[in-house]
Amino acid sequence: MLRFIIPFECGSIELHATRTSERVNRTDQIFAAVKFEMLNKEIAMSIPQLEPIEMVLKSRGVSRSTLYAEIKDGRWPKPLQISLRKRAWLTDEIEKMMRFYMSFPSTEEQRDFVRSLEAKRLDKEAPNVW
């Protein structure tokens, strides 16, 4: 009897086969399971990661009122509206902003950078509007 154990992040699959024909079927099942797991990882990587306001405030070290003042002034990107009462930022944008702040930009440079980030966001959301 053959015994296959396939480890995955969320557990493992254990398959048993006794005859040659079963071995072939089990091998096909193994390849299908591996393909499925790889596809799940690929899909997970393509989904944009979002950060709620609590995480943004913690990583920035500012108060909620300061963050919203910077958004109003154009020095921080606007959040995406997830639902009626929930907003979040793209993790990628937060990381870019944090790296950009390390260069001690002027207020106008900050505004230009935020405009470019938001323009890229709009291009990704609706590339073929017309």
Closest CA to 95 of 70, 72, 117, 67: 117
pTM of the model as a whole: 0.59
> CA dihedral defined by 113, 118, 124, 130, rounded to 10 degrees?
-120
The amino acid at residue 60 is R
Ordered per-residue pLDDT tens for the chain, 130 residues = 555 555 555 555 555 555 555 555 666 776 677 676 766 666 666 667 889 999 999 989 999 999 999 999 999 999 998 888 899 999 989 999 999 999 999 999 999 999 999 998 877 654 444 4
Asked whether the beta carbons of 4 and 30 are under 8 A apart, the reply is: yes
